[in-house]
Structure 1
Amino acid sequence: MFKKNVSGDCKNRENGSMADKYQTPRYYFPKRFNLIVLGFLALTVCYTTRTLLSTCVIFMNKEFHYGSTFKGVLLAAFSMGYSTTQLTAQFLCDKFGSKRVILFGLTMSICTLFIVPIAAPYKVAIVLVRIFCGIFQGIVMPSLNLLIANYFPITQRSTCAGMIWAGIYAGNVGISFISPVLLDYLNWRDCFYIVGSVCIVMWVIPWIIFIRDNPKDLFGIHENEIHFINQTAPVEVKLKTLTQSQVVNIKSIMETGNSSRENKEKIINKTENSGNDFKMLHSSSSSTSTVESTTESLNSMVSDEGEQISSTIVEEEKQMKDDERLPYFVAFKKLITSRGMLTIVYLNISCNWAYFLLLGWLPTWLSKELGVNVGYKFAFFNALPFILCLAISVGFGRLSDKLLSMGVRKIILRKTFGGLCYGIPGVFLLMVSLIIPNHSTVIKIAFVTISIAANGFSNTSYQLVTLDLSSKYSGVSMGIANICSAIPAFIGPLVGGFLLESFQGDWNKIFLISSSFYLFGTIVWLIFLKVDNVI
């Protein structure tokens, strides 16, 4: 009955009794898209608070004489704290709800911006402020992953998740462009005060008003949209809406053995009628509507597959009950020992240190190449890699969903986009270090820009794999991935400062080392990645 609209919007339902009784208003705006807008803004704020220091530290260094080594420590301090709270996110969300966890973590992270100008003259104090900024922000992305799994059906997940995660690059774009312009007119202290204030007004208040832990609780959400979200929900979610008598009737389908299809259809009809008053459909709750949707889907499945499908449903129900009893550390063990997660762990530790080195030190490198560190020219080249990241994330997220709906295997898509994410910077950084080290500044900037921009493919590769491995425990899977990502995020800037002093400011050797990690990581990704659901 509803099969056609699984890959479309809830507005495009097929004609039928349910559609007739629950007509979607013509200009209805899907309420699940609230999360796209505010999730995008949340990650924009995350990376704004995270990377603002990368530009301002140039001026802070002049005033306080930090030196390259301490600059590396300061840039890495955020990741020290960020790695400590990743695995607590799932537990906190189960206890307090994802909305509140994200609200608390990100708001406190924003508040640390106001403390930076006060703590800046004291090395220990400024490092501690950045560590606490990372601690508070560490719970945000795993919690947001849980909301994505709740809000969007699998057929829209790549597109919607890609648009939300594009906020990472929007934050980098905004702060990479705005901060050099602000610094041309104001001092670096004003940047922290202004950016912090804008973040609170832009995100905190709308998040409180428009987001709920469960999309069915959103103000003004239509029944059809709830149905659409549930259409491609895991079978265990649909089974929760069945009454006990309906489950007994489903099980009886199995007991009919080789009986005729007509007998099985009679049992399904009995299942539909038991415990449901379809005369009250207009005034029923969303859960009753979900029961009808589920039983009609079961009817269709039995007509096609007979007792084989019914047996699968009952087995799914049993598996659901087993999963509900999984302790946190059992879920963690199942995920961390899976082949797909181990591949992500390796990639995040090996390849991301090069990305975070470039992310943290890009303004310093650009100021050396361009000879300026303020103004529109510097702002443009500082923001350009992340503009391209943003376009890649949104565009290829949509393409990934389209190819998936056309029948392209998920593993092929994840390996292809992951290969581009790691292979492109491997090749271009190698060219910068070996082929064109003494060529024009424009070519070097172009190649480094392409290398950073390729990270936009991560939103259609390893970021989605954390959802592929387990949507129910996606907070745990994202937490594991982010911990392993935080290690190189800490090591990258730290090692960058040490290597710059050791190599006397020679970036070509750093690019060569980074390239080797990227290229070897690409090979590992293509050979060992698995996307099978673990739990």
Structure 2
Amino acid sequence: MASIGGKSCYKEDDELLHGPAKTSLLGDRAKKPSGDHYWAKYEARVWMVTLLVGTCFLYCARSSLPICAATISEQYRWNKRETGLALSSFFWGYCLTQVAGGHLSDKVGGERVLLVSAVVWGFITLVTPVATHATTSSLLLVSFLRFLMGLMQGVHFPALSSIFARRFHEKERGFTCSFVGCGSQCGTLLIGGAGSLILDWYGWEYVFYFAGLLPLAWGYWVYTYMEKDKERYVIFSDLGKTCSTSTHTSVPWKKLLMKPPILAVVIAQFCVASTAFTLFSWIPIFFKSRFPDSQGLVFNVVPWLTAIPAALLSGRLTDHLIKIGHKPIIIRKLMEVIGMGISSIFIYLLSKSTNFCQAMVFISVAVALQTFNHSGLTVNIQDLAPSCSGFLFGVANTGGSVFGILWVYLSGYLLDITGSWDSMFHLIVAVNVLGLLIYLEFAKAERMDIESSCNVQKV
């Protein structure tokens, strides 16, 4: 066991998770976030449900434009390329705040970051219809508002990663990540069902009103009931102080990212995020285009309905297999074979579908299997570097967002010039397979930040 200055790396391991980490990757000036300890069982369960609901509302707001894209583009006479621009503008903002959001969450607590961001992107969603009707440049304004929404939502998943690493025990993270990750399917399901009905009955504007009010109510709940009285009044001041000093914090991210296991996770997350964003943005339009008589209430609901039990199953299965003695890295890789590999087979079959029922089966299985990524990549980042998992997930998701922008826009361009959906689906499959091969070759589950902490102390 290596010893440095009379302190072992195992001692530092405990400090990184439970107290001030003088030699952590965040440097000597790193401060312990408020309440940096594991939650008690009851408190953890309440927060799991709260975070699930927050993620659900996040996807309700994010899905509002894809659900309404066909109607809005018809009303304002956007072509496929212009529709692709509006859809992809979200990811331009989304990719800019991933790293900052993760780093901020590691310092002051992800709960606070989630609260402030939810209130802002909820308000942006709420005012989108009013602002759009008030201008003649509908495409530019909608794209700009989606960009702002992306900025604020970009902090969400890095903040969750930071919370999982700091607040939940290692053997419970598989189910926790999968359970909270179900919020993305629940949100898409909720807006797919309720949003489709609201769109048909009242118009696209009320879809945005509905999706905007939900996060504002969630923010009120968290601020009033979940945050302790003494913490409510320092949320904004702590965030402001941290933002003003964050540029002075030393993080040896270059050394960390040069390690093959971490680089493999980052690249795999690039692939998972970018392909998921592409499917998320274009699937409603795909069904409307290929199967004009299909009902939005069906294809906007059924795939995400099947994904929820699949996500819960993957989390339970992961934690159970690890508890009975299987190596964590073997289980992480198994989850990715399912989440990236087998799901790609059904995405390819979707491109060849010839009838609506067949297409529904393929997209439902593909989306369900993709939820296994929560128990693979997402948890693996926390395995490798729990002391700065928010920061690392932000880096990984930033890359995924950048490629998401390219793929979403490129898909619209290819659709315009080829008139075929095959090229988009084949691109998704190729990217997923490449990411899976890299992950299987280099991924590990041992902590990487402890070694870096020791190296920093040696210097």
Q: TM-score range by the shorter chain?
A: 0.7 to 0.9
1:514 to 428, 446, 449: 428
1:107 to 119, 122, 127: 119
1:470 to 374, 380, 385: 385
Query: What code does the residue aligned with 2:299 have?
Result: F
What is the Cα deviation at residue 379 of structure 1? 1.2
Query: What code does the residue aligned with 1:82 have?
Result: Y
What is the Cα deviation at residue 475 of structure 1? 1.1
- State the alpha-carbon separation in 2 of the partners of residues 339 and 521 from structure 1: 13
What is the Cα deviation at residue 351 of structure 1? 4.6
Q: Which residue of 2 aligns with 1:334?
A: 255
Q: Secondary structure at the match of 1:32?
A: helix
Q: Which residue of 2 aligns with 1:275?
A: none
What is the Cα deviation at residue 94 of structure 1? 5.4
- State the alpha-carbon separation in 2 of the partners of residues 336 and 156 from structure 1: 26
Query: What code does the residue aligned with 1:338 have?
Result: K
1:161 to 174, 177, 191: 177
Q: Which residue of 1 aligns with 2:299?
A: 381
- State the alpha-carbon separation in 1 of the partners of residues 254 and 446 from structure 2: 16
- State the alpha-carbon separation in 2 of the partners of residues 347 and 395 from structure 1: 22
What is the Cα deviation at residue 417 of structure 1? 0.3
Q: Does 1:60 align with 2:65?
A: no
What is the Cα deviation at residue 180 of structure 1? 0.9
Q: Which residue of 2 aligns with 1:139?
A: 155
1:211 to 195, 219, 226: 226
Q: Secondary structure at the match of 1:115?
A: helix
- State the alpha-carbon separation in 2 of the partners of residues 469 and 175 from structure 1: 35
String of CA shifts for 1:479-512, please: whole Å, max 9, x gaps.
Answer: 11211121122122211110101112x1123222
Q: Which residue of 2 aligns with 1:20?
A: none
What is the Cα deviation at residue 427 of structure 1? 1.6
What is the Cα deviation at residue 99 of structure 1? 2.5
Q: Secondary structure at the match of 2:339?
A: helix
Q: 1:152 to 1:383 in 2, by over 3 A?
A: same
Question: Do the aligned partners of 2:273 and 2:404 also contact (CA within 8 Å) in 1?
Answer: yes
What is the Cα deviation at residue 429 of structure 1? 2.8
Query: What code does the residue aligned with 2:332 have?
Result: R
Q: 1:95 to 1:473 in 2, by over 3 A?
A: closer
Amino-acid identity (%):
22
Q: Which residue of 2 aligns with 1:98?
A: 110
Q: Does 1:453 align with 2:368?
A: yes
Q: Which residue of 2 aligns with 1:347?
A: 268
Superposed counterparts of 1:119-268, under 5 Å: 119-120=131-132, 121-122=136-137, 123-201=139-217, 203-212=218-227
What is the Cα deviation at residue 346 of structure 1? 2.0
1:531 to 442, 445, 455: 445
Question: Do the aligned partners of 1:414 and 1:461 also contact (CA within 8 Å) in 2?
Answer: yes
Query: What code does the residue aligned with 2:67 have?
Result: T
Q: Normalising by structure 1, report the TM-score.
A: 0.69
Q: Secondary structure at the match of 2:325?
A: coil
- State the alpha-carbon separation in 2 of the partners of residues 131 and 118 from structure 1: 17
Q: Secondary structure at the match of 2:96?
A: coil
- State the alpha-carbon separation in 1 of the partners of residues 60 and 154 from structure 2: 14
* Residue correspondences, number: 392
- State the alpha-carbon separation in 1 of the partners of residues 153 and 340 from structure 2: 26
- State the alpha-carbon separation in 2 of the partners of residues 533 and 115 from structure 1: 45
Question: Do the aligned partners of 2:161 and 2:378 also contact (CA within 8 Å) in 1?
Answer: no
Q: Which residue of 2 aligns with 1:407?
A: 325
Q: 1:516 to 1:335 in 2, by over 3 A?
A: same
Q: 1:52 to 1:80 in 2, by over 3 A?
A: same
Q: Secondary structure at the match of 2:448?
A: coil
- State the alpha-carbon separation in 2 of the partners of residues 488 and 391 from structure 1: 29
**Gap regions ≥5 residues in structure 1:** 1-27, 219-326
RMSD: 2.5
Q: Secondary structure at the match of 1:371?
A: coil
Query: What code does the residue aligned with 2:169 have?
Result: P
- Compare 34-43 and 92-101 and name the one that shifted more: 92-101
